């Protein structure tokens, strides 16, 4: 094979890799099953699945991201990064039966633990996700490079496990563009019993 043909084949492979994205798949607008819940979204998302977590984005993670954590266990990091240790008993560890304000503080501490700066939560409000009680709240924070983000969170405790959804987008354009659609999507969250 000539060097020219080899370069063409390699170029086509690279282009094919770019077209398929970073391991995610397209999630079209509509009602979506995610772990033991369903959501209705009016937006199309790129969806990257994990064992008990998913990452969704519309324009790429620096521009918007929806973090979904399912069945966080007692003693586990709110974002499923580690288990509680004696050497670090004060981390963002979930405990069954936490009050709503404690759950909000848990998410804030988890974001701070992830390197987000100046994390501020407000507009804490109880919310029902079908027959499951939970909470919603809004976020203001910055990434380590100083880009200012806004976001919203939905948190519910069910059967001794925690479900956390956090949506973040830069304040300047992306947050205002999508916040109404994301709020409606999070409000539509229902648990399916799986």
Burial class (CB in 10 A: 0-12, 13-18, 19+), 61: middle
Lowest average pLDDT, out of 152-156, 159-163, 166-170, goes to: 159-163
Higher pLDDT, 81 or 43: 43
Left (φ > 0), alpha (ψ -120 to 50) or beta: where does 170 sit?
beta
pLDDT of residue 93: 86
Q: Which has more confidence, 78 or 142?
A: 142
Domains of the chain, with CATH numbers? 25-191 (3.40.1000.10)
Q: What is the pLDDT of residues 71-119, one digit of tens each?
A: 999 988 888 775 655 555 567 889 899 999 999 999 999 999 899 999 9
| Interatomic CA distance for residues 30 and 124, integer angstroms | 27
Does residue 131 register a pLDDT over 60? yes
pLDDT of amino acid 89: 59
């Amino acid at each position: 094979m000539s060097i020219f043909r080899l370069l063409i084949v390699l170029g086509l492979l690279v282009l094919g890799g770019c077209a398929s994205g970073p391991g995610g798949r397209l999630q079209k607008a509509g009602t979506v099953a995610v772990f033991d819940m369903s959501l209705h979204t009016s937006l199309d998302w790129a969806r990257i699945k994990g064992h008990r977590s998913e990452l969704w984005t519309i324009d790429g993670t620096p521009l918007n991201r929806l973090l979904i954590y399912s069945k966080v266990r007692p003693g586990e990091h709110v974002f499923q990064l580690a288990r509680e240790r004696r050497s670090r008993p004060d981390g963002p560890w979930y405990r069954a039966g936490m009050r709503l304000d404690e759950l909000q503080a848990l998410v804030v501490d988890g974001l701070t633990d992830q390197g987000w700066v100046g994390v501020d939560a407000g507009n804490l409000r109880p919310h029902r996700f079908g027959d499951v009680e939970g909470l919603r709240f809004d976020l203001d924070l910055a990434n380590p490079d100083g880009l200012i983000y806004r976001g919203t969170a939905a948190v519910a405790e069910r059967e001794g496990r925690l479900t956390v959804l956090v949506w973040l987008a830069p304040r300047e354009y992306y947050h205002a563009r999508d916040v109404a659609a994301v709020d409606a999507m999070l409000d539509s969250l229902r648990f399916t019993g799986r």
